[in-house]
Structure 1
């Protein structure tokens, strides 16, 4: 017996209603042998059986398909009902009733969820029974359809359980992945950064200092890449962007520090600021600073290096606004629609070495703060603008 047939037998065996259906049919029709059979072009296999006439058939037992009427049901998709075989003009000459010694018989088709033929609900008895009534045949048909629906429900349950198992496995792998990024990579990277800082304080020659500066920049970039991937994993595949919302009164200082930090890493780029955020706000300040950092890096990478980048942060009418603008080629509308997708890059972009996650993460931070992040671009400036209601006791500019 092949594995698929075994699976089909298990499916029928797992349907709690099947034994009750067979018992009710036996009581209603008077037939003492009722079974559910898996029928293919090659085999007839018992899946479930109620045997009151000692035919000695058990689940898994097979019959020569050519010696059954079920193959005709499969091919025609029509049921067969025989009330008294030896007196039936059509079936009295058939060898099948004689071979199995029955007078009354029925076989109704059963289907899977996709409409494929599964097998039959069939019954027989050595004694004739009154089967050729609309009520009896409608009841048999209803029970066959009920089994078909139960097979469909079982297949959906198995599929759902498989999806749930896959999701549990994916969640476990995701947690392990975050743990690797958060510990196994960050820990040695921190040690490397500390070593660089130590050497910068003790090595004086210009060449070594230049090399250490490059190493420091690379370590900073690696930290940012690790953070970006962790945010993607948590935000895109996990439970959303994590926030640590708190009351802050130094957001202006944090934003200014973010600009200063990137200015130090890119001294060749002119960055003009107008940051005027006073008062007490409720937000995740580290995430807001990260949003600014991502928008500013995007402007540095993609903007015209000959034109200054402008950073503005204000509070007006209870609304916190943060914008980053740069000169350069305008962004086409078709491209704007894709900017916030993870890992997406314009084919014409220069090789930046990034993962293409900065704007996606910026959009996730925006959503987590119930804000908006818009893009406008023309031949003069490209502007990324974030707005959100963060104020508790903000002093408007």
Structure 2
């Protein structure tokens, strides 16, 4: 009987094994995860869970009985030591498992501060796993002093939680503005104002020189020579794809595990899906760090592991929750040369429409689900509305779909 192994028990891994069974795969399935927890959602970690608004068990994607009922073997708390693509084996906690086909869904891991500038000190946290958030949660006390390093979405979401908990929060970004790598200045301006209204101190164009303290962090020295005292630190300076196992196994790597349009790697018996996978897109390659991509690509890979040969075409969308603002993003804004700002029905409702050479690329919608849904449908259909129509508030956006 065939044995399919999936390495990585996050959203992509859990979706993949469920799809295998739901589509009729009768062989053995083993899902291997380095964490001791059954597969769980990550987005709520830095939001509802950290705020105490979501119970631990609600994070779980499925109850443990789901995997038992579908005869999916879980190997949790079991980091994989090596993949041998020639012998088609996986070594995990000293045991060698043979596979017929293998999927790698190892996600991504947060970048860390170098030990030389204090990254090894206690009370320096990252936001990735349940254990990370459980460790930092007790420090979110009223009037505690928090430094957040990095002005991307992870850092801003953590700042929103901290502000709601009454934590004295400072966020630094070494670039000239927050969100500079992922959004237009207009979106940066929007979120800077939102955070300022909640008391978060955002300092842009300011780098971290070093963290202060001997065994645990007590403060920070910045690139301008100033120093401040802090009780704990959260680092949100981006992520790296989880491709070390694949690289060691000899698979091709290109900003992640290189796959073809079906999710197959350079080894015909090994597949990849989710944050760790680099896939073809519009003549180039992309790597998407999002839950929708993890689910959709994993399900396509599951079908292809069973011989379907279906191409995966990503429908690109993301989201972020900060305070009472829900940001929804459709499309990729890479290469934009024009941004149209459209005011929504409320003061904090707004959408930003990205164009390149007159073609609609992406939409950022803040508390404006109508603009998001219409923008998403237009982008997926390859249609571009006139920028003048978008900026004209008398335009009925829904009519743009007809």
Structure of larger gyration radius: 1
> Does the TM-score normalized on the shorter chain lie above 0.5?
no
| More strand, by proportion | 2
- Higher-RCO chain (CA-CA 8 Å, sequence separation at least 6): 2
TM bin (shorter chain): under 0.3
TM-score normalised by structure 2 residue count: 0.20
